[in-house]
Every structure is written in C-alpha cells, then in structure tokens.
Amino acid sequence: ENHVERLAEDHQKAKEIEAVLQSLSYVKKVEPVETNILIFYVQDDMDANEFIAKMADKGILLTPMGDGKIRIVTHLDYTDNMHEILLKELTKF
C-alpha cells in the first residue's frame, strides 16, 4: 500500500544485480527475478557464509538461506550509492 510507485525502481535495481550475478564465475545459479528479491547460489567450492561475512565487513548485508543459497532485497532504504557499491563489490570475488 505504501511507496507503490517505488516498486518499479526497486525491481530495476534487482534486475541489474541479477545481470551482474549471472556474469560471475562463483555464482552457480540465479533464480529468475520477479520482484525486488534476488536469490542466488554460490558454487559448491565456495563457502557461502564466508562470502556473506566478507560482504558484511564492507557494509553489505546479505541473507544466508543454507546450502549456498543467498538472498538480496532492494527496498526503499537501498540507495543508488549502495547499489553502485554492491555491484562493484560483487565483481571483486
């Protein structure tokens, strides 16, 4: 009910993250993005919790879902600056 007009912006950012994730060798799979929620899996030889911890050290909070599955959510408080930082940091692994 609130901030409905912002959903398109959040969805666009999610699609941009999806495109970057699909280009990364350490990403095994990206679930199709339908909203502002992204779910992806890291390769079996990568420790998802270690990846999440390293991103947290950079101020990027990701949600572990078990078995190499990770969730990212774009939302009202997710700024353009945060978006650029996330995209850049994802490519550093």
pLDDT tens by residue, 56-81: 999 999 999 999 999 999 998 899 99
Contact 55, 89 (CB under 8 A): yes
More confident residue, 4 or 59: 59
Query: What is the arithmetic mean of pLDDT over 13-31?
Result: 97
Measured CA to CA, the distance from residue 39 to residue 21 in angstroms comes to 10
Predicted structure pTM score: 0.91
